[in-house]
Structure 1
Amino acid sequence: MIGQEFYFAQRSPYFKGYAKQDTTFKDFFSDKQTALQGIMNNPAKEASRSGPSISYGGIPIAKIKLPAATAKKNNEVLSNLYKPIYIQHSSYSGEAVTPYSALENKTFTVTGWEILKEDENLCQTQVTLKDADGETVQWKIYGRRESGIAVFTKGYLEKLKQTWVNKPVYFIEESFAPSSFYNPLDKQTLNYAQGSKWQCTELTFLFDESFFGKLHLILRNDAQQEIAVQIDDRGSLDKQLSLFYIWSEEKYLAVKQKEKAAQEAALAKEESDKKQQQKDIKAYRESMIRQFGTANGNIIADGKVKMGMNQNMCEAAWGYPSDRIKTQVGAHVIETWFYYPAGSWLKFQDGKLVQIKE
């Protein structure tokens, strides 16, 4: 992780919940001695928000601006920007912490990564971070998840930009695609048109009543309509679109190419089956002609019968009967073949066809 750059997400100004708005970094260690005298009895105060924001369709958006990782030329005196505040828990206890508000909307480079303790239940890690001006702050991470903190690696943000921004985007064409979705930019529910084409114009954070801003792609179509797509495959309770419901142009073209290949394969199989069927019909007709002569063979090959045909010919033309009844009438043998469920039948006298009911 050394050399990675961490971006600390900005908190939402519209957060509504029971948690404190300003969370903290505990177990602060400075690169210089930090005096806590004189602030023991002062209440902790939230630092002022930092980072630019604009109004976007009535919703403030924190632009992702990643400052260049360049330190001050003169490092002799550092301002100790991340100096902790002291929180008094009781008459006998308190702790020095760094408020999250001092870190949000800023980028830090990881200069140290040390695992202090690791077992099957706990992994305790100490991370040293340095900002663009050379100021450092250390962060102890307890366990697998750190609540009240939202951190993105710069590499992840850059990969999202390279994948989506300034590139065509398509709504997926799948049976599970939604019929409509909620657009947080205009607070409207819009129809979901499968296969529709959009242009991704930016990657940004949108704020709602959640604790932190949420990463979104902003998409625009030819009608200049803009929508927001959340960078979260799990979607959201208000039915916003997520990455699960859009395709990159590369994915879209791959799907279309696969569909085209499948259609071509289906047409080729249909043509092959048709040719095989014609071949089989021809072979069957030639076989009937060899067995029963040209005239009768052609009739049988067409699935037809005529008066005077024998039982072998009729069976070749109509197939084996569902039932047959044989009776003796004087000196003649009368046999009737029944075909279900069509209700057709053939009557033979002494082995020759004498009556047809189609």
Structure 2
Amino acid sequence: MKRLLPTLLGLCCIANAPAQFKVQSVLPHGAAPEKTAAAVYDSTANIRVGGDAAYYESLVGQRILFYPRDIHANLRPIAYFNFLAEQPAIIGIDTTWLRKPRKKVRPEDFRVDTLYSDVYNPRFFEHFGYGDITPLGCSLHEARGIGTLDYSGLTRSGWFTPAEAVEGQSFEILGIEQSKLEDSELLLFRLRDNAGKVLYWFAHMGEDETNLRDEYYPAVVEGLIGKYRAAYVGKDLFLTKRKPGAKGYVSEYFGLRANTMQGEETRLNFGTELRCTDIRLIGDGKGYAVPSFVFERKEDSAQLYIPLCRYPTPFGIEGYTIDRDRAFLDEVVLTPSEAVYAQRAEEARLREEARLQQEKEQKERRATLCRKYGKATAELILEGKVRIGMTREMCREAWGSPEDINRSSGSWGIHEQWVYGMNSYLYFENGTLASIQN
């Protein structure tokens, strides 16, 4: 019994979580699935909102990386409440005395309560005010009812997932399904972290087709980065055009805006040759750092970068709707330089063939005209000129067929007026050119 008392006192010191923070399980508990080999990512597009069931099923087995925050964004510490663990975690042990402690403590004198939380990697946050506790990848209204957030009041104290447990971390997608939560429809991502712990991410569903917002999850499929790395890094590419589905009008003459690695703004014209040198996480100074592709512009060796996509708004689901003429990798077409040069060589070959064919046809026509009308008349026809005394056939060879012919006949013979564009006229008397008006 003497040994029991210090133990009880130690339990009292550990008890730092009052009973009202106890969270009941809201998710079915089950054994984590066996680890499987990562599936090959068969797409050149990042994870999107508004997909159908088959699309999300195709993402199972992929890994996603939640964007880290930009170190220059000067954001407040954030805790998220829409990440829940499949297996509740012990967040505290509370010793409840059933009677006043006495010298000889008996088991019936106290009760030890273990407090659990479904929050993923729970940590206690004590905040008062708005903005420090938030959902990630969905709106506050959609996420109400998740976790331990007191949505109705201003107090945001409780057990939540710290930002660093998610931001910059990679997770395997075990499954995606729709979830009904109060009056909201959400997507429920079942994920597994590198330690094998299973968690659930409640995210925006994005089924509203009339929604004009740019909606981007604050995450990237790692397989996409692998595909881009293999296709672009170390390669020479031409900025060919924008993809047909890219939003906003962009002038083909002025091109797209981009930033150099020194932070200066520059222009990228279509037809510019670039060399991709690296992929880095680069932010815009306002929120997250997204995967960005570093390029060297061949014409002046300038170092610049193109972000993968528009930056998601911290910390919800909307992307910025401005800067429609800025370059984003998922909105442009980059063509390997060897393909462009091969196409140019083929076009040059076809032009040369056409030139040679045209020269051949001109020689043959010259010879034919010389045989029919003589060299002097043939030269005039080839120059597109007519003169008094030419026949109708000669004039047709020189000027082509007229737009209209006005014909009159009398005792003097047949009079014709050939009408051409731009107020040009030829007048024939009995089949011979008599006068020219232009």
Per the normalisation by structure 1, the TM-score is 0.59
Correspondence 1:220 to 2:301: no
Per the normalisation by structure 2, the TM-score is 0.50
- SS of residue paired to 1:31: strand
- Does the CA-based 8 Å contact 1:44-1:86 persist in structure 2? no
Match of 2:224 in 1: 156
Match of 1:203 in 2: 279
1:203 CA displacement: 0.8
1:117 CA displacement: 5.4
Aligned 1:245-324 pairs, distance under 5 A: 247-248=334-335, 250=336, 252-288=337-373, 300-303=377-380, 314-318=391-395
Distance 2:215 2:379 in 1: 79
Match of 1:63 in 2: none
Match of 1:29 in 2: 85
1:195 CA displacement: 4.9
Shift in alpha-carbon separation, 1:323–1:89, aligned structure 2, 3 A: closer
Match of 1:2 in 2: 60
Shift in alpha-carbon separation, 1:37–1:138, aligned structure 2, 3 A: farther
Aligned 1:1-358 pairs, distance under 5 A: 1-15=59-73, 22=78, 24-26=80-82, 28-35=84-91, 43-44=126-127, 86-89=148-151, 97-116=160-179, 124-144=186-206, 150-172=218-240, 176=252, 178=254, 181-190=257-266, 192=268, 195-220=271-296, 225-232=302-309, 237=323, 240-243=326-329, 247-248=334-335, 250=336, 252-288=337-373, 300-303=377-380, 314-318=391-395
Larger deviation, residues 186-195 vs 91-100: 91-100
1:28 CA displacement: 1.8
Cα-to-partner distance string for 1:150-183 (whole Å, 9 max, x where unaligned): 1211111211211222222334489815367442
Cα-to-partner distance string for 1:214-267 (whole Å, 9 max, x where unaligned): 32111235776421112238996296533356734x2x3323322332332233
1:192 CA displacement: 4.3
Larger deviation, residues 21-30 vs 238-247: 238-247
- Does the CA-based 8 Å contact 2:258-2:268 persist in structure 1? no
- SS of residue paired to 2:168: coil
1:300 CA displacement: 4.7
Cα-to-partner distance string for 1:107-155 (whole Å, 9 max, x where unaligned): 112234454459xx97544333222222332223352389896121111
Distance 2:262 2:432 in 1: 84
Distance 1:129 1:113 in 2: 9
1:103 CA displacement: 0.9
- SS of residue paired to 1:144: coil
Distance 1:343 1:312 in 2: 15
- SS of residue paired to 2:234: coil
Shift in alpha-carbon separation, 1:160–1:235, aligned structure 2, 3 A: farther
| Code of the aligned partner of 1:207 | G
1:284 CA displacement: 4.1
Shift in alpha-carbon separation, 1:356–1:88, aligned structure 2, 3 A: closer
- SS of residue paired to 2:87: coil
Q: Which runs of 5+ in 1 are unaligned?
A: 48-83, 289-296, 305-310
1:105 CA displacement: 0.6
| Code of the aligned partner of 1:220 | E
Shift in alpha-carbon separation, 1:105–1:287, aligned structure 2, 3 A: same
- SS of residue paired to 2:279: strand
Identity within the alignment, %: 14
- Does the CA-based 8 Å contact 1:25-1:139 persist in structure 2? no
- Does the CA-based 8 Å contact 1:36-1:86 persist in structure 2? no
- Alignment length, in residue pairs? 295
Distance 1:241 1:92 in 2: 40
Larger deviation, residues 1-10 vs 92-101: 92-101
Shift in alpha-carbon separation, 1:339–1:43, aligned structure 2, 3 A: closer
Distance 2:200 2:432 in 1: 105
1:274 CA displacement: 3.1
- SS of residue paired to 1:34: strand
Distance 1:115 1:180 in 2: 38
Shift in alpha-carbon separation, 1:148–1:195, aligned structure 2, 3 A: closer
- Does the CA-based 8 Å contact 2:392-2:432 persist in structure 1? no
The structure with the largest alpha-carbon Rg is 1
- Does the CA-based 8 Å contact 2:294-2:305 persist in structure 1? yes
Shift in alpha-carbon separation, 1:214–1:238, aligned structure 2, 3 A: farther
Q: Which runs of 5+ in 2 are unaligned?
A: 1-58, 95-114, 118-123, 134-145, 208-213, 243-250, 311-319, 382-387
| Code of the aligned partner of 1:2 | V
